[in-house]
Amino acid sequence: MIQREESFVLDKVRCPKCAAAGKDKHNDNLAIYSDGHHYCFSCGYYKHGQNVFTPSNKAPQKSKIEKDLSVPHDAVPDLPFTVAQWLQVKYHFTLQDMIDNVILWSPKLQWLIFPIHIGDNYVGFQARNFNPDKPYKWFTKFPKRDKVKVYNPGLGGIVCIVEDIVSAIRVGHSLPTIPLFGSHVNDNLLNSIHLLGYYKIIFWLDSDKWTEMVRFAKRARELMFEAEVIHTKDDPKCYTNAEITNILNQKEPNVARTSIVERIVAETPI
């Protein structure tokens, strides 16, 4: 007798798309099937399966699940007052910025969470730690080797590279901006930026990264980009929208910048 191929539910886990919206508190919206596909009964999130299921007399075993990129289970959109003030007063965030970027809070971990979407797809998150007992500032679950997140992507042209997601959101109001989720630039990232249609890169990292920025810009020039370095006393996220726009447009005084990057600039940055 010929057996019919069929797919059955192996497990139920939290849906990343629901999680990014602060939903699926019971962690069971997303069904994982024996043929590898995933389906969320709440939001309709779907992922194609790659496994071929062959019926047998053996008991079904759970398929291998890819790395979990979902936000913590307790993440909610209600931010503590002090954390909201940290965003609003220190880094000039507006309420609309918080809404547009679906910013969440994990009470258990004391993380301020920034979900990351590329198009309509949720792809991970970066979190700012507020737990004084933990030694780190940032925690990232985002496959940055494979994906590039652009804030305010526009239609190509000029793009700014910054270190963290807070700076990216802020600078992204003025110019397409890519966060490094760290402070390293490699050829894979530069090639991806080229494929996105950008011909000029402005490197604007934190104040202690002048030498690194010039080296990154030199490599970008070797790969046929126009490249520029901006050095400011404070991190990009510390400036107002007007100040950021003026800095990018070379209208802000006391900002060190260079587009000549064949050598390390001898002048001492501010």
Do 249 and 181 sit in the same domain of this protein?
yes
Q: Could you tell me the residue range of the domain that residue 16 belongs to?
A: 9-47
Three-state SS at 224: coil
- Per residue in 69-88, pLDDT (tens digit) is 788 889 999 999 999 999 99
Among 142, 168, 199, identify where a domain stops. 142
**How many domains, the chain?**
3
Same domain, 185 and 132: no
Tens digits of residue pLDDT in 245-260: 999 987 555 566 655 4
Please say which residue of 142, 167, 197 terminates a domain.
142
User: Are 25 and 116 in the same domain?
Assistant: no
Produce one character per residue of 15-53: b if its CB has 16 or more CB atoms within 10 Å, e if not. bbbbbbbbebeeeebbbbbbbbbbbbeebebeeebeeeb
User: Is a pLDDT exceeding 80 seen at residue 114?
Assistant: yes
One-letter amino acid of 175: L
Residue type at position 78: D
| 251 & 171 share domain | yes
Give mean pLDDT, residues 82-111. 95
Residue 64 has pLDDT above 80, yes or no: no
| Same domain, yes or no: 192 and 255 | yes
28 Cβ contact partners less than 8 Å away, ≥ 6 residues apart: 12, 13, 14
Among the listed residues 210, 260, 246, 214, the one whose alpha carbon sits nearest the alpha carbon of residue 231: 210
Task: List for the chain the helix, strand, coil content (%; round to 5).
Answer: 25, 25, 55
What is the reported pTM? 0.70
Domain end (from 142, 163, 181): 142
Distance in angstroms (rounded) separating the CA atoms of residues 119 and 53: 31
